[in-house]
Amino acid sequence: MIKAGIIGGSGFTAGELIRILLNHPAVEIDFVFTTSKAGQPVSDIHQDLYGVTDIKFTDQVNLEVDVVFLCLGHGNSSKFLEVNDFSDNTKIIDLSNDFRLTADSLFQGKQFVYGLPELNLDEIEKADYIANPGCFATAIQQAILPLAANESITSDIHVNAVTGATGAGTSLSDTTNFVWRDNNFSHYKAFNHQHLGEINQSTRQLQKDFDQEIHFIPNRGNFSRGIFATVYTQFDGSLEDAQSMYKKFYIHAAFTHVTERPIHMKQVVNTNNCLIQLEKHGTQLLVTSAIDNLLKGASGQAVHNMNLIYGLEETLGLNLKASYF
């Protein structure tokens, strides 16, 4: 059995990670670390796990664990690793943005691989350290990387995407409390969201001469979880050309599926799937992408990466049904 540790155990992504790993046939949770809740049952915070597990939070870290998942706020993973020296045999999967960019990927002699399986499958399988992609970044990259792989991006890309309230984490603020969020909608960080760095990086990895702009408007939705992204750009080919291109790019992808039917978010919530649908409007190709921000956009993708590192079946522990009704 793979012994797993979780750092930062009280947040939304940690809760989903615990839920997945408790049902993963090849994994045993060794510890769930948090200093603020040490000694409390995990189910006191992640109440969907009541009656499922008797694990308690701890403030002790096993530095010899097989794999550790860092579910910490951005900027905190590097600080944590500076004072916690894990064994050379410990695989590290970081869910923050600390190591996603190439400039930040080498840390204390550890080379972090960008963990988007549809892009870096071979590298992930050989990696010891993974930088898990961001949630918006995952949804948007799935929508545009097939175009980049075929060097078909010839004009600016326009993105409008909405995320659920869980994307903001568990800390309350003026824009995350129920009264503000309920029956409300707003945009934030227009054109300068932090995930643009990794999106541009991955796009240039496939299309070396990519120098167009990605105009990204992130939105807050009045629902709990999920991301629904609409992306459009100029495309000279036909709709059939685009569909063939996307289906070929994702032919071996375990969780990304291209459909010719219109998609909606309920199809993917509570799963590790990404659905892609294409339309052609004049010279514009419209690509719609939908994921669960906590699973494909975070914890599910982290477990997918772990499966790849250990040579397990990609879908092991991740055959989850959508919360459709």
Residues 96-132: b if buried by 16+ CB within 10 A, e if exposed: bbbbbeeeebebeeeebbbbbbbbbeeebeebbbbbb
Nearest CA-CA partner of 284 in 230, 246, 235, 243: 235
- Residue 232: partners with Cβ closer than 8 Å, 6 or more residues away: 157, 158, 281, 284, 285, 286, 287
**3-class DSSP state for residue 94?**
strand
Distances (CA, A) of 208 to 40, 133, 148, 216, 250: 50, 20, 9, 21, 20
> Which of 135, 137, 157, 312 is labelled catalytic?
135
Q: Enumerate the β-bridge partners of residue 228.
A: 162, 290
Phi-psi region of 80 (alpha: psi -120 to 50; beta: other; left: phi over 0): alpha
Distances (CA, A) of 192 to 164, 188, 218: 19, 9, 9
- Told to judge if 135 belongs to the known catalytic residues of this protein, a careful annotator would answer yes
The gap between the terminal CA atoms of the chain, to the nearest Å, is 35
Q: How far apart are CA 14 and CA 9, in angstroms?
A: 5
Annotated catalytic sites, by residue? 135
